[in-house]
Chains A and B, each alone.
Chain A
Amino acid sequence: MEPMSALSIHGLWKRFGTKIAVAGVDLEVPAGSFYGLVGPNGAGKTTTLSMATGLLRPDFGSVLVRGQDLWADPPAVKAGLGVLPDGVRLFDRLTGAQLVTYAGLLRGLDRDTVRDRTADLLRTFDLSADADTLVVDYSAGMTKKIGLACALVHAPRVLVLDEPFEAVDPVSAANIRDILAAYVAGGGTVVVSSHVMDLVQRMCDHVAVIAGGHVLAQGTVDEVRGEASLEDRFVELVGGRRTEGALAWLRTSSD
């Protein structure tokens, strides 16, 4: 059988007003891979992932999810996607249990399945004690976890997570990593974006470096980083490191 890409992005462009956020991005995410998307702030990661999950219509380009054109038939393709966007709200006036239930019901699951999976997910993410607390009263890390639970409730084949580890405490982050690793081992595909190179290097098997709306490098983590660490390779690719003489007045020892 021909190895199929879980996610295949070709010539993706997006312009906001006069600013071109994404300028011709191509990405191949092999099925069954744990794929990291890294880039500096404003690189176009969130815009790319939004277009890859059907939340934002691209100006040009195509998105194939497991061989199906996302923008040609969004309802059919989105059913197999689990999404956790960054920088958006949740319906946070619902309790944690209600929010996961809502996500499950919207995806067309029946009542019993939703109830069982909601209980499972809340337990796994260590949120059972806060199941009846309004999400608006959750901490930032708990909010990420409940969002991840919502993305998983319908058992998608491909997971696209934008900054899933931001503000998550180390124990929860380790738990999430284990859950995602098990998911990949079971045949699922995960795409995560992150600023934390170290995390990506340890966790992912594939990586793409994106900056200024362009893909600078992509492939397996070992291919991209070569001999160096991913962090050094990233800084070398993206450039713009400057520390000499910066903010000299900030050194308190100079008094």
Chain B
Amino acid sequence: MVAHLVRLKLTLLRNGLRRSVWRVIGLVLSLLYALFLLGLAVAGLVALGAHDDPELSRTVVVLGGALVVAGWWLLPLVAFGVDSTLDPERFQLFAIRRRHLLTGLTLAGVVGVPGAATVVLGGATALAWWRDPAALAAGLVGGVLGVAVCVIGSRAITTMLAPLVGGRRFREVAAVLAIVPLMLLGPILLGATAGLAAVADALPTVGVVVGWTPLGAPWALAADVQAGAWLAAVAKLAVTGATLGVLVLVWDRALSAALVRSPGGGHVSRSAGLGFFARFPATPTGAVAARSLTYWLRDPRYAAAVAVVPVMVLLLWFVGRGGGIVLGAGVVVAFVMGWSLSADISYDDTAFWTHVAAPVSGRVDRAGRALAGMVVGGVVVLATDVLVLGVAGRWDATVPVLGMSLGVLAVGVGASSIYSARVVYPVPKPGDNPFSTPQGSSFAVMLTQSLGMLLLLAVCAPTVGLGIAAVVTGHPVLQALTLVVGLGSGAAALVAGVRVGGGLYDRRAPELLQTIRSFA
């Protein structure tokens, strides 16, 4: 059974590659990148071993290892999503013992570039002690345990949180908000370590302390063995064992819950009246805008885009040490929210047929979605601006900050209107975990997205440049100019987005639908 699951994962990987040359190129590039990083890491570890400085080795390995573990645990929730190819809910109908499923999914989690790289890296940490056979052996044991903590922890956390983030309606928004503190752990750690990095002397102490935590314990094993601190080494083993035990327990519980959960859940949601449809004008454009706004509020995939807001504010606050940099939060939020509209048709999934069949003209579709994006984005961006202006006590900078953030939002929405009429790509399906990564995100799509974002940055650059100058100098002419350039370029981008995007849409709507259907 365990072998079946690993083979299944390998087959999925191979079949995925067979579907597109771009996917192969993507895999090769990520492999090369991983090999490059691994090479650097291994060389560094060997050098560390040759250097023969126990304190340095301990600090580097423990802190580095703890970072890798934190990455495995937290990144799936924030950035890359959970690998959904072996979603436990897909095994609901098979008679598989849970123990076998746990083992199989763990091993299958190592298949793939990040998994393989972690295994190699985990084993390579032992090289930092290649002069001391006992410590070398302990390092190998610690490496294997460390990799297990990475993979099992990642599975446990994502499986446990999946129902939270996959639930519906109010619970969905609440869940996304509950995720935020978790996402903030990273910035907080970053801020804390950045503060400590200023005092480099403190790092070894941090290493020792982190070595006692679940994140660092497996990596600290070899250092203790080399130091002859056998009691400490046994204690580290105990910490790691307890961590693994708790993780397996949590995962097991979450998995058994996932295996009997009916898709959709038992809770029936109701909503009285027509909501936004009664408030917007009774035109096709108004209807599209009302539908989009309803989705912004009801669909956790959209809510996930809003969840970055507090993260941005806090991150910039940490980076700027409470200074003026936090004023940029509104601009960053505007950029993220404006660009998030570029996935709009992809998020519709096959329900997009309604627009193709009606038919909705390109300008109507683009204008309706852009209107909803500007309403939601406008509210969020304005709220962020007011918050950061108050926190920084820089009400004098109100005009340029508003000019920058609203301008960037409008340019982002305009650019997204063109992009999403040309490119659709696999996204989590309606009702799926909003943090899951769908299969088939290809290298070509990543390339077009990077290009789109670069173009967007280029268009935003004049406004942001003027705005920064205005905030720093406080010159009234520059302030007024920022507002004019920001709002002017934003309005121009919106008009261009609706026109150009509308034209593209009119020519290609059936092709977009066909592409979306091919993802299913």
Contacts and interface: CB of A to CB of B under 8 A. Distances in A.
Contacts of B288: 106
A53 B353 CA distance: 11
Contacts of B15: none
A105 B286 contact: yes
B291 A114 contact: no
Interface stretch (B57-65, B99-107, B183-191, B358-366): B358-366
Interface in B467-520: 510-511, 513-514, 517, 520
Contact of A56 (B275, B299, B358, B513): B513
Given A55-B513, A103-B358, A89 B430 contact: yes
A101 B274 CA distance: 8
Interface in B259-288: 264, 268-275, 277, 282-284, 286-288
Nearest to B356: A55
Interface string B18-57: 0000000000000000000000000000000000000000
B284 A93 contact: no
A74 B359 contact: yes
A110 interface: yes
A53 B282 CA distance: 25
A133 B351 contact: no
Interface in A48-100: 53-57, 74-75, 78, 81, 83, 85, 87-95, 97-98
B130 interface: no
A111 interface: yes
Contact of B358 (A78, A85, A87): A78
A90 B430 CA distance: 10
A183 B31 CA distance: 61
B270 A133 contact: yes
A83 B513 CA distance: 15
A136 B167 CA distance: 12
Contacts of A110: 282
Contacts of A111: 282
Range, interface on chain A: 35 or more
A97 B355 CA distance: 18
B411 to A, nearest CB: 28
A83 B357 contact: yes
B510 A78 contact: no
A56 B441 CA distance: 23
A91 B348 contact: yes
A133 B357 contact: no
Nearest to A160: B357
Interface in A118-147: 132-134, 136-137
Contacts of A89: 349-351, 430
Contacts of B349: 89
Contact of B277 (A78, A88, A102): A102
A136 B359 contact: no
A10 interface: no
Nearest to B361: A75
Contacts of B513: 55-56
B330 to A, nearest CB: 29
B517 A88 contact: yes
A187 interface: no
A106 B358 contact: yes
Contacts of A81: 357
B431 A136 contact: yes
A38 interface: no
A107 B511 CA distance: 21
B354 A93 contact: no
Nearest to B513: A55
From B282, B350, B358, name the one whose CB has the most chain A CB atoms within 10 angstroms. B358
Contacts of B422: none
A103 B359 CA distance: 10
Contact of B357 (A78, A105, A132): A78
Given A111-B282, A137-B264, A57 B351 contact: no
Contacts of A95: 270-271
Given A83-B357, A102-B354, A114-B282, 5 more contacts: A55-B353, A56-B514, A57-B514, A101-B277, A111-B282
29 contacts: A54-B357, A56-B510, A57-B514, A75-B359, A85-B353, A85-B357, A89-B349, A89-B351, A90-B351, A91-B295, A91-B348, A91-B354, A93-B294, A93-B295, A94-B291, A94-B294, A97-B274, A98-B294, A101-B274, A101-B287, A102-B287, A105-B286, A106-B284, A106-B287, A106-B358, A107-B284, A111-B282, A134-B270, A136-B431
